[in-house]
Amino acid sequence: MEPILEYRNVSKAFPGVQALSDVSVNFMPGEVHALVGENGAGKSTLIKMLTGVNVPDQGEIYYNGSTYKSFNPKMSRKLGLGVMYQELSLVNELSVAENIFLGNEPRKNRFLLDRKKMEEESQRVFADLGVNLKPDALVGTLSVGYQQMVELCRAVVEEAKVLVLDEPTAPLSSNEVEILFRFIRTVKKKGITIIYISHRLDEIFEITDRITVLRDGKVITTKNTEEFSRDELIHCMVGRKLTEIYEPREGVSGGEVVLETRNLSGNGVKNISLKAYRGEILGLGGLVGAGRTEFAELLYGHKKRDSGEMYLNGKLFSPQNPGQAQRAGVVLVPEDRKQQGLLLDMTVKYNQSLPIVKQLSRYAILNEKEETKLANYYCDNLGIKTPSLKQKVKNLSGGNQQKVVIAKGLASEPELIIIDEPTRGVDVGAKRELYHLMNQMIEQGKTIIMISSDMEELLGMSDRIAVFCEGRLTGTLGKNEFDAEVILKYASSENVAEGETYEQ
């Protein structure tokens, strides 16, 4: 069989980084082909060439019978290259069908839109692909998973031959991942090629046929998925052997209560009573949208509570804004790094020091030497890959941006740190570093509340797990009771009907 898409000796440099060097890789019709590698390995750079965001310095790209030096967005749409970035490109105010046909709407005549045909056509596509979507629903009201599905259907309607998914499952709940996988299997049968980028290895092994490993902008190997073992794949990605990701740790749940909430309600959560003990990692489990982030926003004073109390170290705690929470020793590392975490147009150093510039100053004058020292410390410790501290954050790879958000959270050395999805988009090696760092913090007697939708991470890192569903606390598990099945049960809505919330 002929490849549908092939990179031939492609190179690309940015100031200070050789993002890709001499990359050759091919993609067959109807295969699901994984691109894996550490943060900053060049995966996104590679696929961004298909829409002309990046133009190769050298080399060429063969696609469907012709070779190209570069693409542009219009051209790639017409050619059938569907690229889905982490940021979706949908119009929230329009319906599902309108979004799918945006730019090539069926018309009754020159001027009038044929809405009926548009909706019928969408319905047909959904039935064909086994997708459960209503054509007239507003896109803004859908969950992220379904929004993604709309975007994918749009690509299929436009007769894409290649679909590129850059970390599609990062914002999805496990149900939604299942739906996505079903979709992938269906379109694959139609001969569409899927390029799949992810840091979640279990997904890679489940859904892909072949794997290409990138490291420092070079192709290390391309092999069929079944020829890899998990350890081997990790070895290829990071270039060394990794010991166990989750270090064993003495659980110290019980003892001194650091944070307590009593019947806390507001911001979409109802009646939460919860305790976090000094020196533990309290995992918050549940589906995406279960209210964990909203709960965290209350703790951090980002949103106002309606009723209930919070106690920090036994004293009443009611932060009016994040600044107050931070001064009391509580920090939130937000989930949405682009909207809530980063100043994208500012430098790495600037971002990292923002929460503590005041502490780094004397007589209001900022000590830039100290600032640089600190930024260097976190770059080394978290392995943030950047050509310099003066690099703008928007030019970093996704995983490295995440590390900058975490560095920001650690900078003020909080007593209690709430981390919302700590390892979203972070590679295995860095994950391990991050977990190590979290363990160190625990050893120093700090407390971590970790919101995670990654079951493995939740079970591996937590000392206790509190499960949320539809804004309520539906169960709390001690370490000896950890069980994925039980957590899923608590997380699913049947439990809420009883309306019970309890704390063990």
CA-based nearest residue to 424, from 338, 347, 356: 338
Instruction: Round to whole Å and give the CA distance between 69 and 47.
Output: 14
User: Among residues 75, 144, 257, 360, which is the contact residue for another protein, using CB under 8 A?
Assistant: 360
Q: Nearest distance from residue 401's CB to ligand ATP, in Å? A: 8
Q: Residue 229 CB: number of other CB atoms within 10 A?
A: 10
Contact flag: residue 17 with ligand ATP (CB under 6 A)? yes
Q: Do residues 349 and 371 make contact, with C-beta atoms less than 8 angstroms apart? A: yes
Residue 460's binding partner among ligand ATP, Mg ion, another protein, none (Cβ under 5 to 8 angstroms by kind) is: none
Q: How far is the CB of 356 from another protein (least distance, A)?
A: 9
Nearest to 329 by CA among 414, 394, 215, 259: 414
Q: How far is the CB of 199 from another protein (least distance, A)?
A: 23
- Residues 159-188, interacting with another protein (CB under 8 A): none
CB 311 within 8 A of CB 478: no
- Report the residue number, 15 or 103, with the smaller CB distance to another protein: 15
Q: Which residues pair with 269 in a beta bridge?
A: 266
By CB under 6 A, the residues from 25 to 44 that bind ligand ATP are 37, 39-44
The three-state DSSP-derived secondary structure of 79-118 is: HCEEEECCCCCCCCCCEHHHHHCCCCCCECCCCCECHHHH
Binds 408: which of Mg ion, ligand ATP, another protein, none (CB < 5-8 Å by kind): another protein
Tokens of 80: 């059938």
Specify the residue, 166 or 176, whose C-beta has the smaller distance to ligand ATP: 166
Binding mask 366-405 vs ligand ATP (x if CB under 6 A, - otherwise)?
A: -------------------x---------xxxxxx-----
The residues in 41-60 that bind ligand ATP, with binding defined as CB under 6 A, are 41-45
Angle at 148 (CA atoms; ends 488, 167), nearest 5 degrees: 75
How many residues sit close enough to another protein to count as binding (CB under 8 A)? 37
Q: Least distance to ligand ATP from the beta carbon of 216, Å?
A: 9
Enumerate the β-bridge partners of residue 8.
Answer: 60
Instruction: Write the single-letter amino acid at 174.
Output: S
DSSP-derived 3-state class of residue 223: strand
Half-sphere exposure of 275 (CA within 13 A, CB side): 16
User: Does residue 243 interact with another protein by CB under 8 A?
Assistant: no
Q: Which is nearer to ligand ATP, 44 or 501 (CB)?
A: 44
In the complex with another protein, the residue whose CB is nearer, 334 or 429, is 334
- CB 470 → another protein: shortest distance, Å? 25
Residue 200 binds ligand ATP (CB under 6 A): no
CB-hemisphere CA count at 13 Å for 320? 0
Among 11, 26, 221, 340, binds another protein (CB under 8 A): 340
